[in-house]
Amino acid sequence: MRSHCEFWVIVGWVAFVAGKGEWTVQQADKDEGMAKFPWAQLRLPPYLQVAMRVLQLANNENVQLHQLCDLISSDPAFASEVLMVANSVLYSPRYPSSSIMQAIAVLGANTLQGMCITVGVRAYLGRSMNYPAMRDLWRHNLACGVISERVAAAGFLDRDTAYTSGMLHDIGRVALAVIEPKEYSNLLSIHKGSAESILEGEKQLFGWDHCEMGRMLVRDWELPADLEPVVAEHHAPAGDKPAWGMRELVKVSCRMADVLGFPAFHGCERGEFNALVEELPERERGRFCGDRKMLAEEVTHGVHAIEVV
């Protein structure tokens, strides 16, 4: 197990103050009463920096489309990957876009934001993807994004926000994977139990579980505050009839991803698909695809469409 000091040096690596374009040494604390440790001046992969800034920009109502276009285009390699996703069979555009501005015009700024997050998270995992357990984790996030969008489309919540929230719900796990790919991959490979039972193993290994890590990243990267309950509480036990919102939507979508063949880790216990559909509010339940086989095919198609890009 790592010492806390050593751990925080590594955590500094993922502590980029997004949107300001610079690295800072800052103090971070887990919770009140927790000892403080210095953050190191280390770097995040540039793709995720751009993706996180896109997320911040897209949540600003006053943002001009050309600003979004300029930001995405500021990294030509990133922009070209985003364009490949935009032109993939997942979105099946009638006419392929040849520029980011064209893709924004055809698909909309919010949809493009989801693509940027997809490309950014994949790049963030980077070489960790050489581990099969990490590829499974990537597919789980992707599947959760696709399912979240489907559930949102069956009700009133925003589809693009749902996709982004699903893609990012396990960002804390992704960070743990980047910090220590071999050890975390090993934990994901050998652990057996419910989805939330792995949190204790993460705490033993890192001092933090992925939900706590996710909460910290949302704050330190200055991501939209609405993401915090999604990333920090998606394994929380169900309370008494919690109000339906993005957190509840992603919670159920995460477990659906497990059931439909995209578990976050191989030994994850999977519930009953029909029981999960029953958890949806009446309106969503009535309009959501309740056919497990058909939905599994749709999600597999969506995941594959991104994977081959």
Which among 20-28, 120-128, 215-223, 260-268 is the span making contact with Fe ion, rule CB under 5 A? 260-268
Least distance (Å) between residue 273 CB and Fe ion: 16
Q: Quick one: 93 or 271, whose CB is closer to Fe ion?
A: 271
Which long-range contacts link 93-99 to residues 24+ away (Cβ below 8 Å)?
Answer: none
Which among 185-193, 241-249, 252-260, 295-303 is the span making contact with Fe ion, rule CB under 5 A? 252-260
SS3 260: coil
What is the C-alpha to C-alpha distance for residues 9 and 26, in angstroms, rounded to an integer? 11
Which among 73-81, 92-100, 246-254, 301-309 is the span making contact with Fe ion, rule CB under 5 A? 246-254
212 binds Fe ion per the rule CB under 5 A: no
Element (DSSP H or E) covering residue 28: strand 27-28
Least distance (Å) between residue 90 CB and Fe ion: 20
Which among 74-82, 125-133, 253-261, 293-301 is the span making contact with Fe ion, rule CB under 5 A? 253-261
SS3 275: helix
> Inter-axis angle of helices 109-125 and 100-107, to 10 degrees?
120
Least distance (Å) between residue 212 CB and Fe ion: 11
Which among 32-40, 41-49, 62-70, 165-173 is the span making contact with Fe ion, rule CB under 5 A? 165-173
Least distance (Å) between residue 135 CB and Fe ion: 15
Instruction: Calculate the alpha carbon distances from 212 to 37, 111, 219, 229 in Å.
Output: 16, 28, 11, 11
What is the C-alpha to C-alpha distance for residues 171 and 173, in angstroms, rounded to an integer? 5
Q: Quick one: 177 or 254, whose CB is closer to Fe ion?
A: 254
| Nearest C-alpha neighbor of 84 from the set 64, 94, 98, 70 | 98
| Site track 264-303 with Fe ion (rule: CB under 5 A), x = hit | x---------------------------------------
Report the 3 state secondary structure along 80-144.
Answer: HHHHHHHCCCCCCCCCCCCCHHHHHHHHCHHHHHHHHHHHHHHHHHHHHHHCHHHHHHHHHHHHH
**Nearest-CB residue for Fe ion:** 254
Dihedrals φ, ψ of 93, to 5°? -70, 145
Phi-psi region of 241 (alpha: psi -120 to 50; beta: other; left: phi over 0): left
| Site track 50-89 with Fe ion (rule: CB under 5 A), x = hit | ----------------------------------------
Least distance (Å) between residue 169 CB and Fe ion: 6
Residue 113 · residue 219 · CB < 8 Å: no
Least distance (Å) between residue 270 CB and Fe ion: 12
| Site track 170-209 with Fe ion (rule: CB under 5 A), x = hit | x---------------------------------------
Instruction: Calculate the alpha carbon distances from 22 to 60, 63, 77, 279 in Å.
Output: 21, 21, 21, 43
What is the C-alpha to C-alpha distance for residues 157 and 249, in angstroms, rounded to an integer? 9
Least distance (Å) between residue 111 CB and Fe ion: 22
Determine the size of the site formed for Fe ion (CB under 5 A): 3
Selected from 177, 254, 280, 296, the binder of Fe ion by CB under 5 A is 254
Which among 81-89, 186-194, 248-256, 279-287 is the span making contact with Fe ion, rule CB under 5 A? 248-256
Please give the residue ranges that form the binding site for Fe ion (CB under 5 A). Answer: 170, 254, 264
